């Protein structure tokens, strides 16, 4: 399969694969993932508690520091739940709702920033893949114009250019597999944002 | 599960609806290619049954014995025996079956074929296709009236609700609704059909006799951009007091007064909330949440989300039996 340069493979490669239609979704131009593109998450999608205090979550060091920790995926969700509960317990009851709302806002802003970077990265990566796919198509087309040689003898130029084309194809396929993994990342962060919002809501008075 | 060991007579009593512990919730997992079965009393997952590819719309037979599953990428309807929890038969469906609904007696299944612009009618007993009805582009929503006389299909691209006469199997009326209609729900008295529009962001209430839209319900969720409010699944209580509307990536279920058409509340459930189903006693309504891979349990009277239950990947359809 890997070495097979069939027409259907190239056709798929050159289409640059916005495959959202496969899941009955509207296709977003230049978005290479099967996952639906969600450019930004709104606070109301993850939080239905009271509004934020308006002071800005960065102004309170404890809130800001916890928001940074929670937004990073290094912290497992179980630990995040404990950290949120401990934060809420340390806040006077009459301020708890507003402080949790600030925390929710901070976490979402940080996650939105990280997701935006990811989405830009995925788009750049896909553009490079598109360029490589075009090159492979040109290389394949060029091979057809070369004399095939006699019997089992393959002319050196044909062998060399075929090797280059096969190498590019292999690189393309490897990167395509990585792209599929990258496409999962914004969704994972979207899921994390919601899960954290739920945990914060569970600590509302 | 102890239930399997029960004698047949005791099982019949349970199925008669006497025991709440017999309740089961079925969820199709679009990417997980499975059906999750949840015990309605403990709200724990009791089984995960592998099924065909891309299961979406599901519906129970009137006696609760069989769950019909649209295996969209296999172009068939699978039949799950709810006692043995095994796939026991398959029915033809036409290409890309997405949603299905049954005639009140359970003898016919109406299937929306998304890729084929058709509604396929399947006879359950003979396992044959008895009719293919041409409809609009990308048919999706399917709703059979409670008297079995009318079938409403919605077509996503044509933006219409098609009224199909179940006797002549022909479209008699087309009602224009908002963009990308997804779901059709008949009220229990067959007086109204509620049709959601995913892109339009509305629910159109159609007077079933007059074949016209009488009310249009719009949704506005604080802190959520308008384009993320995408109505999909709709359910109306039997007494027509309340309606529940799943709002897709807004992650909310809207609670609507079904008499005044006023939106009363927006409940935060899970991510990309898709379809809804009541428990038979309508004490609870369950939502499938496609991105957070869970379902939410909502207390209907209290209008509160009680809890979420993790299921398979991309939960899509939901059905409940006692």
Which residues in chain A have their CB less than 8 angstroms from residue B98's CB?
24
Rounded CA separation B46/B43 (Å)? 9
- Residue count of chain B: 322
Output the pLDDT for position A147. 75
Q: Which residues pair with B66 in a beta bridge?
A: B81
Confidence of residue A161 (pLDDT cuts 50, 70, 90): confident
Between A167-176, B174-183, B215-224, the lowest mean confidence (pLDDT) is in A167-176
User: To which H or E segment does residue A81 belong?
Assistant: helix A77-89
User: To which H or E segment does residue B308 belong?
Assistant: strand B304-310
Task: Determine whether A98 is exposed, middle or buried from the number of CB atoms within 10 Å of its CB (0-12, 13-18, 19+).
Answer: middle
The per-residue pLDDT for range B272-299, each reduced to its tens digit, is 999 999 999 999 999 999 999 999 999 9
CB neighbour list of residue B282: distance below 8 Å, 6 or more residues apart: B237, B238, B300
Which residues in chain B have their CB less than 8 angstroms from residue A194's CB?
251, 270-271, 291-292
CATH of the domain at B213: 2.130.10.10
- Does the CB of B183 have a partner CB in chain A at under 8 Å? no
User: Is it the case that residue A54 has pLDDT exceeding 70?
Assistant: yes
The per-residue pLDDT for range B134-178, each reduced to its tens digit, is 998 889 999 999 999 999 999 988 899 999 999 999 999 999 999
- A161-183: buried (b, 16+ CB within 10 Å) or exposed (e) per residue? bbeebeebbeebeebbeebeebb
Output the pLDDT for position B5. 46
- Domain range for B160 is 2-321
Output the pLDDT for position A27. 58
**Residue A157 CB: number of other CB atoms within 10 A?**
12
Task: Determine whether A9 is exposed, middle or buried from the number of CB atoms within 10 Å of its CB (0-12, 13-18, 19+).
Answer: middle
Which residues in chain B have their CB less than 8 angstroms from residue A48's CB?
252, 266-268
Output the pLDDT for position A26. 52
For residue B273, the Cα-to-chain-centroid distance in whole angstroms is: 12
Confidence of residue B237 (pLDDT cuts 50, 70, 90): very high
As for how many domains chain B has, the answer is: 1
Output the pLDDT for position A156. 80
Rounded CA separation B118/B277 (Å)? 25
Chain A interface test: which of B200, B228, B265, B296 (most A C-beta within 10 Å)? B228
Output the pLDDT for position A158. 83
Which residues in chain A have their CB less than 8 angstroms from residue B116's CB?
none
Give chain A's mean pLDDT.
85
R_g of chain A computed on alpha carbons: 25
Q: Measure CB to CB from residue B251 to each of A24, A194, A201 and give the nearest one.
A: A194
Query: Could you tell me which of B258, B253, B251 has the C-alpha nearest to residue B272?
Result: B251
Rounded CA separation A67/B248 (Å)? 27
Chain B interface test: which of A81, A183, A191, A194 (most B C-beta within 10 Å)? A194
**DSSP assignment letter at A23:** G
Find which of A21-35, A158-172, B276-290 is predicted with most confidence, using mean pLDDT.
Answer: B276-290
The per-residue pLDDT for range A59-114, each reduced to its tens digit, is 999 999 999 999 999 999 999 999 999 999 999 999 999 999 999 999 999 999 99
Give chain B's mean pLDDT.
92
Closest CA–CA distance from residue B292 to any residue of chain A (Å) = 6
Query: Could you tell me which of A205, A179, A46 has the C-alpha nearest to residue A110?
Result: A46
Output the pLDDT for position A11. 47
Query: Could you tell me which of B279, B301, B297, B300 has the C-alpha nearest to residue B288?
Result: B297
Chain A interface test: which of B97, B114, B223 (most A C-beta within 10 Å)? B223
């Amino acid at each position: 399969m890997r070495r097979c340069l069939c027409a259907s493979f190239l056709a798929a490669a050159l289409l640059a694969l916005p495959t959202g239609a496969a899941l009955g979704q509207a296709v977003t131009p230049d978005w290479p993932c099967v996952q639906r593109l969600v450019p930004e998450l709104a606070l109301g999608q993850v939080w239905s508690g009271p509004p934020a205090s308006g002071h800005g979550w960065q102004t309170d060091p404890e809130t800001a520091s916890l928001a940074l920790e929670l937004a990073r995926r290094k912290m497992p969700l179980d630990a995040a739940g404990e950290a949120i509960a401990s934060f809420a317990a340390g806040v006077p009851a009459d301020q708890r709702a507003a402080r949790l709302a600030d925390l929710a806002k901070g976490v979402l802003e940080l996650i939105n920033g990280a997701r935006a970077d990811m989405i830009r990265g995925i788009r750049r990566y896909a553009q490079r893949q598109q360029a490589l796919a075009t090159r492979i198509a040109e290389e394949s087309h060029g091979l057809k114009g070369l004399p095939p040689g006699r019997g089992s003898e393959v002319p050196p130029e044909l062998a060399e250019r075929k090797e280059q084309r096969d190498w590019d194809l292999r690189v393309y396929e490897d990167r395509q597999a990585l792209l599929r993994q990258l496409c999962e990342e914004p969704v994972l962060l979207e899921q994390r944002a919601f899960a954290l919002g739920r945990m914060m809501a569970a600590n509302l008075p | 599960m102890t239930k399997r060991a029960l004698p047949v007579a005791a099982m019949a009593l349970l199925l008669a609806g006497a025991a709440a512990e017999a309740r089961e919730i079925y969820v199709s997992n679009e990417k997980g290619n499975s059906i999750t079965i949840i015990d309605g009393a403990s709200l724990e997952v009791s089984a995960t049954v592998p099924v065909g590819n891309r299961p979406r719309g599901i519906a129970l037979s009137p006696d609760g014995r069989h769950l019909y599953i649209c295996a969209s990428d296999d172009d068939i309807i699978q039949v799950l025996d709810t006692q043995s929890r095994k796939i026991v038969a398959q029915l033809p469906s036409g290409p890309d079956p997405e949603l299905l609904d049954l005639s009140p007696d359970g003898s016919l299944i109406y299937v929306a074929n998304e890729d084929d612009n058709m509604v396929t009618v399947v006879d359950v007993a003979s396992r044959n296709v008895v009719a293919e009805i041409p409809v609009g582009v990308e048919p999706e929503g399917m709703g059979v009236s409670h008297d079995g006389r009318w079938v409403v299909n919605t077509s996503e691209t044509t933006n219409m609700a098609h009224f199909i006469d179940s006797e002549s199997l022909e479209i008699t009326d087309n009602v224009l609704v908002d963009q990308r209609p997804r779901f059709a729900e008949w009220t229990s008295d067959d007086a109204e059909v509620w049709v959601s529009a995913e892109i339009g962001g509305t629910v159109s209430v159609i007077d079933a006799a007059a074949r016209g839209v009488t009310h249009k319900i719009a949704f506005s969720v604080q802190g959520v951009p308008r384009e993320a409010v995408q109505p999909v699944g709709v359910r109306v209580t039997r007494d027509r007091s309340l309606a529940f509307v799943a709002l897709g990536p807004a992650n909310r279920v809207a609670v609507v007064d079904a008499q005044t058409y006023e939106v009363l509340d927006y409940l935060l459930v899970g991510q990309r909330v898709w379809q809804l189903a009541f428990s038979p006693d309508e004490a609870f309504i369950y939502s499938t949440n496609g991105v957070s891979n869970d379902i939410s349990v909502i207390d209907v009277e209290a209008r509160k989300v009680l809890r979420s239950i993790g299921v398979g990947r991309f939960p899509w359809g939901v059905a409940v039996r006692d």
